[in-house]
């Protein structure tokens, strides 16, 4: 098929398809003449992936390219592909004014303790490490420590989720499908988990409010 049909099939405008081709998110079609090319079902699928990662997962075009390149490259290990999905890496340097480094050091220690306690084997090069430290440090800088106290709860919940996810993803066919499924599941999973958390929070707060009113009235 040519670009017009690809556009119709995927719901992405021709102009955007050309943009994605330029940016390397979409591999070029097979040349049928010096200035004609044809695209296949793989391109349709890839376009859907691109839109999913950008629109639903909230990745930037640059992060999407990096992730897809990792999925394509059999050399890149799975967890590095996942690491590349973290487009929203908070800048490690220069933030606060008062007790900046102190909060950061405390956070570093708290996370190291948590990881040691749970027996997690994680490399320090995982960008998620720095992200987690930065969040913890930010929280203590704001003067609240509820989140820090719930760190263990969060870690336990995420370990349970991750264990089942990893188990579900390993026994697919080939490596490409496994990695692709893991990446999409992780990126879209972030969004889904956040949404479900909002829903659960509303339910729980409503429940708590009802109970409080019930106590007050009866």
Query: Binding its own copies by CB under 8 A: which of 74, 93, 143, 173?
Result: 143
Q: Does 38 bind DNA (CB under 7 A)?
A: yes
| Residues in 118-137 that interact with its own copies by CB under 8 A | 120-123, 126-129, 131-132, 134-136
62 binds, options its own copies, DNA, none, Cβ within 5 to 8 A by partner type: DNA
CB of 218 to its own copies, least distance (A): 20
| Stretch of 55-63, 69-77, 102-110, 142-150 contacting DNA, by CB under 7 A | 55-63
Q: Give kind and range of the element (H or E) at residue 10.
A: helix 3-10
On whether the CB atoms of residues 18 and 32 are closer than 8 A, the answer is: no
Q: Does 15 bind DNA (CB under 7 A)?
A: yes
160 binds, options DNA, its own copies, none, Cβ within 5 to 8 A by partner type: its own copies
16 binds, options its own copies, DNA, none, Cβ within 5 to 8 A by partner type: DNA
Mention every residue, 6+ apart, whose C-beta is less than 8 A from residue 147. Answer: 135, 136, 139
CB of 91 to its own copies, least distance (A): 7
Q: Does 88 bind its own copies (CB under 8 A)?
A: yes
Query: Three-state DSSP class for 86?
Result: coil
Q: Does 91 bind DNA (CB under 7 A)?
A: no
CB of 95 to DNA, least distance (A): 12
| Residue 52 DSSP code | I
Q: Does 96 bind DNA (CB under 7 A)?
A: no
Alpha-carbon torsion angle 170, 173, 174, 180, nearest 10: -60
CA–CA separation, 178 and 47 (whole Å): 18
CA distance readout (Å), 19 to 12, 51, 84, 91: 11, 13, 21, 28
Q: Angle 51-196-163 (CA atoms, 0-180°, nearest 5)? A: 85
Q: Does 13 bind DNA (CB under 7 A)?
A: yes
CA–CA separation, 138 and 119 (whole Å): 25
Q: Does 103 bind its own copies (CB under 8 A)?
A: no
176 binds, options its own copies, DNA, none, Cβ within 5 to 8 A by partner type: none
Query: Three-state DSSP class for 194?
Result: helix
């Amino acid at each position: 098929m040519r670009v017009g049909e690809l556009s119709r099939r995927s719901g992405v405008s021709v102009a955007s398809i050309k943009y994605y081709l330029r940016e390397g998110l979409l591999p070029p079609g097979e040349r049928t003449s010096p200035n004609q090319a044809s695209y296949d079902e793989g391109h349709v699928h890839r376009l859907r992936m691109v839109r999913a990662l950008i629109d639903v997962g909230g990745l930037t075009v640059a992060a999407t390219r990096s992730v897809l390149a990792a999925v394509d490259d059999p050399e890149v290990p799975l967890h590095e592909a996942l690491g590349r999905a973290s487009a929203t890496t908070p800048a490690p340097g220069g933030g606060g004014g008062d007790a900046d480094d102190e909060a950061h050091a405390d956070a570093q220690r708290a996370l190291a303790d948590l990881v040691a306690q749970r027996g997690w084997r994680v490399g320090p090069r995982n960008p998620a490490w720095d992200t987690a430290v930065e969040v913890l440090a930010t929280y203590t800088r704001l003067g609240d420590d509820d989140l820090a106290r719930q760190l263990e709860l969060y870690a336990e919940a995420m370990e349970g989720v991750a264990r089942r996810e990893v188990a579900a993803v390993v026994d697919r066919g080939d490596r490409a499908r496994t990695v692709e499924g893991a990446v999409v599941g992780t990126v879209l999973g972030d969004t889904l988990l956040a949404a479900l958390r909002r829903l659960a929070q509303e339910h729980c707060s409503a429940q708590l409010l009802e109970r409080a009113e019930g106590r007050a009235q009866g």
